[in-house]
Structure 1
């Protein structure tokens, strides 16, 4: 009898088939990426050129950030957004460029903090002071109010045009603070927090039933500072006395026909009429962001530079996460320290400018970043200048203490030298829902941060000591860096929040200004005659590099997606400003 053996291949599992399909997919993607890269190298885009007598069109409906995403998911979410630095430095270059003879602003909407408005506003004024024309058009400056920020920015232009149906929606500043204590009690949630001291009101929305006298006092000082500064600046631009302008800013809104007689607006009309006029008067009208990109400095690897390191977000241990703003982003110790040390080790980097925009965060990571800045200054002997974007409060101010000099716009938010902390206790809520919690604790303080029970007396004692320890260290560092005695320290600490102008008066920072002033200070400290080219550090990866990183690692980071959701849970809901925001 003959035996016939038939070979039958083993059947592949479903997972094996999926893995093979993914393998083929990524191979095809890899080939596609290589073809794109080869084409990009072969077909280089011709550099943009600009005609004599060119007007630049700057539209403010473009979202402006303080940094950019550096991974594929973040780039897909946000694109490659322009920054406030791009606008300020681009305007500075345009002011010196003889081919550029006008700036045409378009203000359909605005999403900038008051400090960012002031920094861009200063750059527009400097552009106009060279003798070049500046004109802005807005359909309306807010509707039923909410237009203070937009009109403040518009006042930097020599000519203001508005649609006949529009409004100048300046109506003062409104602050509303919801308090949730009674609502939380009704559902059985007890906020167990502590603070140092009465002006440190970050947890008051959870623990209090109404605004405290200290917070009301502090907010009134801030609001009066904002309005006084805005009135002085707008009044100077529109040739209206500051006191009269302050009354105008609080008595609105105003319809278009009224604003002409009040000298708030120069002309009413429509955008097409202004654009037709510009095209007749100038050889070309180019997009501002195209100009800014085409003219940005591109030094060689051997050229000396200044490094710009963004420090944006809530301060935490670990990696930074781009989310689009100070509250939505994470400022991580690992990312910041790594960037700082890389810049310090780079021999072509002669000074470092830290662009800081942070509401605060963890004490220990704040201390870590403070130490890294001192290391760069003392060991690497490189000047570090801090430029506050919108805010450097609490832990953000803590970080700034490590810099050689700190600059902020008059309406930036800083200070808040204090600490608060605690936990939400859900014990009564769990009981209402008939949810039992069993635990095994080895150690008297093992359940210290448990949300199922409040602090024991012994745990409360430790918690209060911890707050005292953090406050003592924070204030000691402030006193040493700023030369304050105990009396002066008590006056500016205890959680008080200051505007940039108030911070200069009280010796908390070194001067008023933005990136332009920070660059000048960096040049002075590094011993160069004029500021060197400012380069983002680390250099932003290209889309190809981001995609390559994704294909090589096989991991798609959630930068720019998850933070937006997380920010909804973490945002401080207590303060709402009418007409502008403290943070972007």
Structure 2
């Protein structure tokens, strides 16, 4: 957890939660530094917060007159999702619109690298590398057959037919509804990639699709296909950039560039600002935490609620941007945070910025914001709910184990993993799940100013891309974090810098 200032560009470590201050006015030294190129080397794909920090760095470079260009030296994919690739591509276009030259250097680029780098002035690849991409794909693992062999029965009750996540535990493969939904999502996200890459490389979508189908590509093949412009070793990047810029300039790492020098903290301390509040990871009740070894982040309702309360009470915070990077989670956590967002939006502007995913409980929370921004490839919607458990009684029987339970009421052990649900319990759970679904629909209805019937028509667990959600009035505007921050500055009456 932590905070960063857009003007200072520094990420200040903080263990207290997700509340961050964004000072909006830049500070610069009086003397103009010598012109140079900044080389950004990525050896691993940025995580959600690393991605936001990288965007902030690029925005600062775009505003620095001493920076003539940027070299992206990519040893890994530059984005973890289509939505992040869109935001990175937008940052590259912003650099170019401010007169900066952008060169991408790949070892072996995949789809995300091609998506981002297609927005650069020039793409070069290691002579022994290439482009390892020939089309979009998605994969889903179904455990139903394995669990059945083990003697484990997954039992779920859901609302509604498009809420297909539990099927990975109950089925051997996708149901027809899930099959259609998965294919549609893949087609929609590929369309964004083809549009952006085609535009950047000046290829029509049909022509680009035909060329990509011949991949993956060696460097010469990628060049012949019009996907890259040339080849270069690492030590040849200065010369390669000189061809783009028109003069030979020093390549400096970010920490050596005066444009990214830390700003004195006292310059920023008292200014009005935007609070950037993160909800990243699976949403859970309690405090935010990370799962050791697995590397998963859990977004805790207590931690995020405290951050929103702090932002709401701080008179220097003129607006709040809620950054969502979550597939969903606890319905209770969602409602707690929906309430905090709702209360905050009553006293100051709240803008929801959807990253890679803001689905299910994530959309629940976002619906309370004054405006919702999403990238075209953002995965959102999934307005639905499910509940279930695993019954391991058959597995224990195979192992010769027996569990004896004593109870004072018929349903005292209904959530026990040592027996299945009874028919009566399934009926009761179905009723409770329907109640929670109705609450979900009501929250969305109030936030989006739609009737419950209108919400239900686009809900029922259906996943949408950001572009589809925008068409269905679940999202207000298409755009990434940069556009959300700009709107927050506007609504908070803060200067554009």
Secondary structure of 1:364's aligned partner: helix
| Structure 1 equivalent of residue 430 of structure 2 | 464
CA drift at 1:293: 5.2
CA drift at 1:250: 3.5
Native 8 Å contact 2:368 2:444 kept in 1 = no
| Structure 1 equivalent of residue 37 of structure 2 | 55
Distance 2:60 2:282 in 1: 32
CA drift at 1:64: 2.1
Cα separation, partners in 2 of 1:94 and 1:529, compared to 1, 3 Å: same
Deviations 1:56-77 (A, max 9, x none): 101122442334xxxxxxxxxx
CA drift at 1:191: 0.7
Q: Which has the larger radius of gyration?
A: 1
Is it true that 1:123 corresponds to 2:105 in the alignment? no
CA drift at 1:290: 5.6
1:494 to 435, 460, 468: 460
Native 8 Å contact 1:327 1:359 kept in 2 = no
Cα separation, partners in 2 of 1:409 and 1:325, compared to 1, 3 Å: farther
| Structure 2 equivalent of residue 360 of structure 1 | 328
> Which stretch of the first structure deviates more once superposed, 268-277 or 106-115?
268-277
Cα separation, partners in 2 of 1:250 and 1:476, compared to 1, 3 Å: farther
| Structure 2 equivalent of residue 388 of structure 1 | 354
1:504 to 459, 470, 484: 470
Distance 1:53 1:432 in 2: 73
Secondary structure of 2:415's aligned partner: coil
Distance 1:112 1:429 in 2: 38
Secondary structure of 1:163's aligned partner: strand
| Structure 2 equivalent of residue 346 of structure 1 | 314
Is it true that 1:156 corresponds to 2:123 in the alignment? no
| Structure 2 equivalent of residue 260 of structure 1 | 223
Secondary structure of 1:252's aligned partner: coil
Native 8 Å contact 2:157 2:426 kept in 1 = no
Cα separation, partners in 2 of 1:300 and 1:286, compared to 1, 3 Å: same
Select the structure with the greater relative contact order (CA < 8 A; seq sep ≥ 6): 1
Secondary structure of 1:422's aligned partner: strand
CA drift at 1:456: 1.9
Distance 1:221 1:491 in 2: 18
Pairs aligned (count): 462
Native 8 Å contact 1:102 1:132 kept in 2 = yes
> Which stretch of the first structure deviates more once superposed, 244-253 or 509-518?
244-253
Root-mean-square deviation (Å): 2.3
| Structure 1 equivalent of residue 365 of structure 2 | 399
| Structure 1 equivalent of residue 201 of structure 2 | 238
CA drift at 1:296: 6.3
| Structure 2 equivalent of residue 294 of structure 1 | 261
Native 8 Å contact 2:368 2:443 kept in 1 = no
TM-score when normalising by structure 1: 0.75
Gaps of 5+ in 2: 1-28
> Which stretch of the first structure deviates more once superposed, 169-178 or 113-122?
169-178
| Residues 169-318 of structure 1 mapped to structure 2, 5 A cutoff | 169-278=132-241, 281-288=247-254, 291=257, 294=261, 298=265, 299-318=267-286
Native 8 Å contact 1:181 1:209 kept in 2 = yes
Cα separation, partners in 2 of 1:257 and 1:213, compared to 1, 3 Å: same
CA drift at 1:419: 0.8
Native 8 Å contact 2:319 2:488 kept in 1 = yes
CA drift at 1:182: 2.4
CA drift at 1:527: 2.9
Cα separation, partners in 2 of 1:528 and 1:269, compared to 1, 3 Å: closer
